[in-house]
Amino acid sequence: MILVVNIIDVGLGNINSIEHWTRDCHLFPRRVTNIDQFTNGPIIIPGVASAGEYMERLKSLALDKEIIKRCQSGQKIIGICLGFQILSNYSEEDSGTNCLGLLNGVTRYIEDKKTHNGWEDIKIDTRRVKHNVSFPKKRVKKIDGRVFFNHELMIELEDDVYTHILSNGITSYAFKNNIFGMQFHPEKSQQTGQDLLKLII
Amino acid sequence: MSFRIGATVLLDINGRALQSYNFNTKRILGCVKNVLSFLDDYEVDEIHLIIPLKGKGVDTSKVLTELKDVSISTPLSVGGGLNVKNIAEITNDPYFERLVFNSLIFDDNEVIKQVSLKMGRQAILAYMPFILHKNTLKIYHSKRNKFINVSDEFWRNLNSLCNEVILLDADAEGTRKGFNFKVFKFLKFPIDRV
């Protein structure tokens, strides 16, 4: 059986790259542009956009409430870069933007408005995760590789989640129940990105 | 954070990859999709696709949209000859993470600001081929097709609009001279964003 993944499409974000990434992992990508198009598969919120514009479009299509509802009912949510940041309560981007509030915390500019671009190491072993994270039962249980970051804002979480903070204070990822937020771009992280998708879906 | 190994791929108007020597001689390498696929397999850290625009009738958006079905998992930036019309087209459903600008940094900040609103400032990359002669830095202006002196306003624009800068030593390109690191003395841009 091929699993269908819902990719939120509000006319922003590198959706093409996300589609390639999911196909490479033998999943079937489906673009969601309105609330009637959702399936029960995982929902991916892509990155490469700005928070204000993105939230505005989500709201105008009523996708914001639908994503929250589906998340609360246990559907898997994967937020990538901006898609991760808008899972928080609020973002400083675009003079301040109220976000989805699925993770307790705020998104701020990196100190001194610096930028964080490049590759960082990632190690996840699902057998060692003590938090409640809904990893599927699979033979592959860990990844060890590198992932690509390209962002100017960072999320600061108050929730007790399974997370990894980089040496520069940036939250690399945060997993909580059925929510998988990643500041990096797994769709552009070569083999590690594919391994990661297979690990969480 | 460490150095990244980036590959800059030049494209001609037929979508073929070019090899450039000394910023004036170009040799056709072949199908760009094969070049991208090879670089992806090689796992370079990032790829920049640039159309070095010269002459009339060059349709950047046509060349770039034809690459939409390229399936690579390496970070990709595209640029060259971008204007209001083709930016709207290619950013509508992008297969890349960043856009590369050159002449618009000198000329038309509004376009870059619009892109920044749509894609975020982290998606704005500046492409700066340079020459350093007699202690004077000159930056290539692609629309005028020449190296020009840069003003304080240029540096201000660069700092406020662009997330990162790709520096290309035009004198050393395609040669064994080596990159001229003296350029860093002349930059008015944070070194960690170069």
Interchain pair A53, B96: CB under 8 A: no
Q: What's the confidence (pLDDT) of residue A64?
A: 95
CB A184 within 8 A of CB A129: no
- Please say if the pLDDT value at position A33 is more than 90: yes
Q: Match 């624009």 to its residue by tokens.
A: B157
Over residues A57-76, mean pLDDT: 95
Return the domain boundaries, chain A: 4-200
In tens, the pLDDT along B127-153 reads: 998 998 888 999 988 888 889 888 888
- Report residue A141's pLDDT band, with 50, 70 and 90 as the boundaries: confident
Over residues A108-122, mean pLDDT: 88
User: CA A15 to CA B189: how far, in whole Å?
Assistant: 32
- Residue bearing the bigger pLDDT, B141 or A2: B141
- Please say if the pLDDT value at position B55 is more than 70: no
pTM for the whole structure: 0.87
The tokens of B164 are what?
Answer: 């990162």
User: CA B106 to CA B98: how far, in whole Å?
Assistant: 19
Q: What's the confidence (pLDDT) of residue A101?
A: 95
- Please say if the pLDDT value at position B1 is more than 60: no
Rounded to a whole number, what is the distance in Å from the CA of A7 to chain B's nearest CA? 13
Instruction: Give me the CATH code for the A4-200 domain, please.
Output: 3.40.50.880
Distances (CA, A) of B6 to A52, B9, B25, B37: 31, 10, 21, 15
In tens, the pLDDT along B85-106 reads: 778 777 777 888 899 988 888 8
> Given A17, A150, A151, which is nearest B95 (Cβ)?
A17
Residues pairing with A122 in the sheet: A145
Q: Domains in chain B, ordered, with CATH? A: 6-193 (3.20.20.70)
Over residues A36-57, mean pLDDT: 93
Q: What's the confidence (pLDDT) of residue B9?
A: 87
Interchain pair A93, B118: CB under 8 A: no
Rounded to a whole number, what is the distance in Å from the CA of B67 to chain A's nearest CA? 11
Q: By mean pLDDT, which of A44-48, A175-179, B4-8, B19-23 is the weakest?
A: B19-23
A169 close to B (CB below 8 A): no
A160 close to B (CB below 8 A): no
A27 close to B (CB below 8 A): no
Q: What's the confidence (pLDDT) of residue B57?
A: 61
**In 10 A of CB B170, how many CB atoms?**
20
Rounded to a whole number, what is the distance in Å from the CA of A153 to chain B's nearest CA? 9
User: CA B102 to CA B194: how far, in whole Å?
Assistant: 15
Mutation test of the interface with chain B: which of A21, A24, A50, choosing the one with the most B Cβ atoms within 10 A? Answer: A50
- Report residue B47's pLDDT band, with 50, 70 and 90 as the boundaries: very high
User: CA B61 to CA B81: how far, in whole Å?
Assistant: 9
> Given A12, A13, A115, which is nearest B164 (Cβ)?
A115
Over residues A79-93, mean pLDDT: 95
In tens, the pLDDT along B68-82 reads: 788 889 999 988 877
Q: Active-site positions of A?
A: 81, 185, 187
- Please say if the pLDDT value at position B188 is more than 60: yes
- Report residue B122's pLDDT band, with 50, 70 and 90 as the boundaries: confident
- Residue bearing the bigger pLDDT, B61 or B120: B120
